Amino acid sequence: MNPYFIATLSDGTIFEENINDNPNSWYKLKDLLKDNKNLKIIGIQLQFDNSVGISMPNNKIGYFYGKRAVKVFPFGGESHGIGVGFLRDDGLVDIEWYNNNGNLLKRESRPEAKAGFFLIKN
């Protein structure tokens, strides 16, 4: 099983990613929040097969979730990453990228405008 997100919403609902969803669960969550203006994400966690969970701080103004793959040429290697993060008050998004085993690959901060559709603002 692949890593997945678990979001806690302000009404107490637990929203878990379903990797078989089409469109994907993050977009469904974004639509749910857009249709229910008084509903917010109050916490998010990245869950791995080995029971390790990575939690972001609660009650942030926005949350980030995304996946990426990087192909390395000329050798053909490929690297996958799952990013989870939050929007800070100063407009930067702090993101932690992990591999499928829950090992931290890198940390980065990027401006809100560069977070794209991976960011859901409360």
Q: Which two tokens stand for residue 68?
A: 């990426």
| Residue 110 vs residue 75, higher pLDDT | 110
22 Cβ contact list (under 8 Å, min separation 6): none
67 pLDDT band, cuts 50/70/90, is confident
Q: What is the mean pLDDT of residues 33-53?
A: 90
Rg (C-alpha) for the chain, rounded Å, is 14
pLDDT tens figures, 12-25: 999 988 766 666 88
- CA nearest to 44, candidates 29, 31, 56, 27: 56
Write down the pTM of the prediction. Answer: 0.87
DSSP state of 19: T
d(CA 98, CA 2): 12
**The pLDDT value given to residue 15:** 94
Question: Hey, how many other C-beta atoms are within 10 angstroms of the C-beta on 71?
Answer: 9
77 pLDDT band, cuts 50/70/90, is low
